[in-house]
Chain A
Amino acid sequence: MKSLLKNDYGILVALMFVLAAPPILVKFGAMNSYYISILIFMALNTMIAVGLNLLVCHAGQISLGHAAFYGIGAYTSAILTVVYGCPLWVDVIAAMVLSGVIAYLVGAPTLKLKGHYLAVATMGLGIIAFIVMNEWHSVTEGPSGIVGIPRLKIFETVMRTDMQVYYLYWAIALIVILVAINILNSRVGRALRALHGSETAAAAMGVNVNSYKLKVFVISAVFAGLAGSLYAHYMTFISPPSFGLQFSIMLVLMIIVGGAETIWGALIGAVLITSMRAFLGEALGAYKDYDVIVYGLVMMVVMIFIPAGLAGGVSIIARKLKRGSAQPEEIGA
């Protein structure tokens, strides 16, 4: 088991065992079923964060507009199923495809930008998407939102209970992580890391910089679109404020707090930020009105003391513990 944890597949397997625990705890009354719903939101956030992690941490491109793809996914599913009666799951695929296509169209010109310019361009995308959701009344129903989105079905079983949704969404989240790990362990992954190190050097070595940047941008948008679609099917109602700039910033926060070094940073960040949003007020008891301040303080402390993020922090500590045998992680296989 210990040697398994050294590689990503091992961690993925370990994660499966961890994920099997909550339903058992709920079954034996050791955990309230309410926590399952939080874990569902964690699964959704993990899907987006993993894609964003590929983009930001491995390809070195910042995006402050990923809530747009989340929203495009959610609205595509909502409109297709509610207005056009599109069969379930077909709309999920459509949401992913549309998010990807829009990412391609937007990414082709904007990914030529660098640094702050790219951040502002993607933020612009987020703002435009938000305005479209609010103002295109005939299609999106504007600010009042879309009601009555059907729940997903597997064959004839409607995903009605949180427990069913929990299994389904985490299974999908694990597949997303698996896909991301495989991308990183492939040629593309090596190219991405080269890109992250130095775009100029990578280009000089024959890496087609723009093409790789665009690919990873599209992949991350597809993941976000998938999460958005699943969100719509879980909530059964969507309206624009869920997909605003604030959510984009929260996503970036997830991967920064989680750590940039590995794909697991995305998972850690998604889990941490989601649970802080859900439990902080509760944990503070009588002082729950101050949760916003504590939230900010935690972010500051993480950034000041573990700038590499929590996943980075853990591996730094692990390395210090077995000083001497410190070896750079093997890349690929």
Chain B
Amino acid sequence: MKRNRFGVFCSTALSVAILALALSGCSGDKGAKKEESAEPYKIGAIFSVTGRGAPIGQPERETAELMRDQINAAGGINGRMIELIVEDDEGDETKAMMAAKKLIEKDGVIAIIGPSLSGPTLAISQYVAEAQVPMVACAASVKIVDPVNPWVFQVALTDRHSVNKILTYLTSQGINKIAFINDSNAYGVSGKAEMTALAPKKGVEVVAWEAFGGEDTDMTPQLTRVKASGAEAIVVWGTNPGPAVITRNMKQLKMTIPLVQSHGVANMKYIELSGDSSEGVVLPAGRLIVANQLPDSDPQKQILLDYTKAFTEKYNKPPDHYGGHGYDAIMLTAKAVEKAGADRSLIRETLEKTTGFIGTDGIFNITPEDHNGLSEDSFVMVRVENGQWKLLDQ
């Protein structure tokens, strides 16, 4: 009886295997459908609308939808509307992969904007390249564009730009011995790697390396060691709330050396969390948070003010730089589609030739070697004064 069952099992297994082989021989090609001219341009978006990346993904989606509405209200691109298909990756790499496959294979999008976070972006980068779909990522890891993936672009300012900006600022202040304290998350670790590589080139010595965990509520031990190290300034690389804890602890320890934070806390939340202690803290930030202080000659000023106004009107809150990434991603894509139409590889080529595109993050000059296209000049240094961001003279 048992042997009999096994016989049936084995013969069926064999036949299924043969069937499978026969099928795998036939390639599953499906020719790209020729769209009619009246059909909308389908653009996919993958944002972390829920989950750990929600504070980043939410404003990105809101902005992308706002800009879609603006473009469509103005008659679309080349007379065709934009259809934006937003997927939520929940900050999860597997989910991001599912979303990318859906957008490309099922919806047939001509380009993808996002994801919001570096992990999901890196997870789908190879796939979008194989599927030959251009992607404009909103996440900040340097790994996304270094080494260059021909199909992947990036709008976010990277840690490399930020570290360079800070080092330039410090040397201009005559400071060349610093302490570096980083968050032990992906953001903090990446900042540390860049600082390790770039500080010697600018003649800055890091005399103390310290780290903290995202949930830590007291950083006095790290600061005590920094105090003993003879550092002339402290650079902190982290995301809320850790950097605010350091800011308050420094005040409690009566440490007076300058505190430089990273662009990771260039938001009002940081000022709220650290209260009065944040007075005088300096950090690099995109121009968005100081848009109205910019000189009129600044090419980004008008765009930043328009965006801030439109966003505030629609969502009753001011935009942040994450929303700015969403703005740059959809506008860069829209501009490329305007020239290239629905042809994916033409969109890729057009994106790669972008020069002088004025976005919220900076002025983009993309080349085949640099798929980010921003420079450290996209950052400005700001200081906290009376609980507000004050633009420093460049």
CB within 8 Å of B: which residues of A? 4, 7, 9-10, 12-13, 16-17, 19-20, 23-24, 26-27, 29, 32-34, 37-38, 41, 134-135, 137, 142-145, 147-148, 160-164, 167, 171, 235-239, 241-242, 277-278, 281-282, 288-289, 292, 333
Contact = CB atoms under 8 A, between A and B. Distances in A.
Interface stretch (B5-13, B70-78, B283-291): B5-13
B105 A144 contact: no
Interface string B259-296: 00000000000000000000000000000000000000
Given A241-B119, A242-B92, A167 B8 contact: no
Contacts of B1: 333
Interface residues of B, number: 50
A137 B189 contact: yes
Interface of B: 1-2, 5-6, 8-9, 12-13, 16-17, 19-20, 23-24, 26-28, 30, 49-50, 52, 87-88, 91-95, 97-98, 101-102, 104-106, 118-119, 122-123, 125-127, 130, 141, 143, 184-186, 189-190
A132 to B, nearest CB: 13
B28 A37 contact: no
B127 to A, nearest CB: 8
A237 B189 CA distance: 18
A235 B6 contact: no
A19 B23 CA distance: 13
B5 A10 contact: yes
Given A142-B189, A277-B98, 17 more contacts: A4-B5, A9-B8, A16-B16, A20-B16, A34-B101, A34-B105, A38-B98, A143-B186, A143-B189, A144-B190, A161-B27, A167-B20, A235-B123, A282-B102, A292-B50, A333-B1, A333-B2
Interface of A (DSSP majority class)? helix
8 contacts: A9-B5, A16-B12, A38-B98, A143-B119, A143-B185, A145-B119, A161-B28, A235-B94
Given A237-B123, A333-B2, A41 B19 contact: no
Nearest to A32: B106
Contacts of B125: 147, 237
Given A16-B12, A144-B141, A241-B92, A34 B106 contact: yes
Contacts of B106: 32, 34
